[in-house]
Structure 1
């Protein structure tokens, strides 16, 4: 088989560094992903023929080379009518994305998923595969320079820390926000204007209350205990 294209992935570097979970016997060829074209096959080969495209069936094949003699069971045939770069990058990121979408929750068309690092290779694959499956995505994209982090609450009572290099070399900005201070600074007229705008959103069905749990005021202890539990998304609402 002659290799047609093979990417460089972080796992490839980690394998060379000796820190990856799978390490080949030495001497070894780098590269875990790519696509090649079959040139010749042995007499016992039945699943591949000359001219076929194939990708590695598992990590450690060593794709950073021009030609190789490889066993049939180490390869998976792929159609040759797809773009070359798609075939070369098919075996890692898109597979990871597909499995995450299929194996952990029973997602159905119309469901939504949220992912961070959406501009990564896996993230881009998630967006496209999800769309193909009829799923909606909310994607958080890493902006590596000039970002502003706004802190509006501190329930954990822990300090917010940032490295000096983030301030100097990435122009990261840390800001705080307190609604009570905003009202003091802007005055009652601007606050009322904002409230009326939000009410219009409510009337149009564009803004709804968060998930709530209504608790009689006499059961205030139950409500207070529930409000302090971690990972409880329902807002406790006293009813009088």
Structure 2
């Protein structure tokens, strides 16, 4: 079977190679999965560059999430043979591969009729969006939430799940064309990051206040957004695209009792009860099957085209996800 391997930490174009390996024997808990689709995420590049919370030994089979069909199984996984499964992003197996061996504890059975490309993206972003909305505060219909980088796939998922819950979204983006895109997929209010951000948020919200704010950028924008979170409210960071730690005014933290949390999905995957993992992912998969949860996909590639896929996924101007299709 063919797969993409990481040979060392560094620039993806230089340290990722296409490899062919013979099939390995299966242990009693192993599943052999023929991959259908697997996305490329920002976290994959962080891992490749040696900047992620997971630091594998080399060579390492790349790809953090995806979906496929179980074509063979060890003794304890026979009930899953022939089933479509979502591979959880535990980083114990790779998904940028034609076939991959996965421990049965790292999969969840999902719909056999939904679009596999959309299902393949469930492991990280939709699960993160769902948990951000559920874990930190009790949100009620009509409440406002705020987020940075709202045009990214995560932003799309947050907006979709918020609308299903009756929540209002204030969305910060960096470019006017990104603002148009966010309005198209349902953002209630969109404001541009920059010198006028505070005034634009103030004009957009009026007397309303945010219950919670989500950030994946770092630096100034989340600090500004937190000024409009209600007293005792919450901020959550799940990424750091700028490389700059969030600049939060101590006045907001001390005198208004705001709290700021860091979120990493893998901690939830490691610690959540199995029934909670299964329910969450199958619930999200049902929303995909109903057409209520999706992300824009710019292009799909084969493994042979991995260099073009990597280049496209790293482009700041792309308008959707890049996905390997098998």
Range class of TM-score, shorter chain: 0.5 to 0.7
Q: TM-score, normalised by structure 1?
A: 0.59
For residue 37 of structure 1, give the secondary structure of its aligned residue in structure 2: strand
Aligned equivalents of 1:117, 1:208: Cα separation in 2? 24
Aligned equivalents of 1:71, 1:140: Cα separation in 2? 40
Count of residues paired in the alignment:
163
Structure of greater Rg: 1
Aligned equivalents of 1:209, 1:78: Cα separation in 2? 39
1:102 aligned onto 2:134: yes
Question: Closer, same or farther in 2 for the Cα pair 1:131/1:144, shift >3 Å?
Answer: closer
Q: Which residue in 2 is equivalent to 1:66?
A: 98
**Unaligned runs of at least 5 residues, structure 2:** 1-32, 178-191, 200-205, 210-249, 257-326
Aligned equivalents of 1:56, 1:82: Cα separation in 2? 18
Q: Which residue in 2 is equivalent to 1:230?
A: 251
Any idea what the Cα deviations from partners look like across 1:185-235, whole Å, max 9, x if unmatched? xxxxxxxxxxxxxxxxxxxxxx7799xxxxxxxxxxxxxxxxxx93378xx
For residue 118 of structure 2, give the secondary structure of its aligned residue in structure 1: helix
The answer on whether the counterparts of 2:94 and 2:100 sit within 8 Å (CA) in structure 1 is no
Q: Which residue in 2 is equivalent to 1:135?
A: 167
The answer on whether the counterparts of 2:35 and 2:69 sit within 8 Å (CA) in structure 1 is yes
Q: Which residue in 2 is equivalent to 1:9?
A: 41
Question: Closer, same or farther in 2 for the Cα pair 1:35/1:22, shift >3 Å?
Answer: same
Q: Which runs of 4+ in 1 moved over 3 A?
A: 144-153, 207-210, 229-233
Q: Which residue in 1 is equivalent to 2:80?
A: 48
Q: Which residue in 1 is equivalent to 2:195?
A: 149
- Bigger strand fraction: 2
Q: Pairwise CA RMSD of aligned residues?
A: 3.1
**Unaligned runs of at least 5 residues, structure 1:** 154-206, 211-228, 234-240
Q: Which residue in 2 is equivalent to 1:120?
A: 152
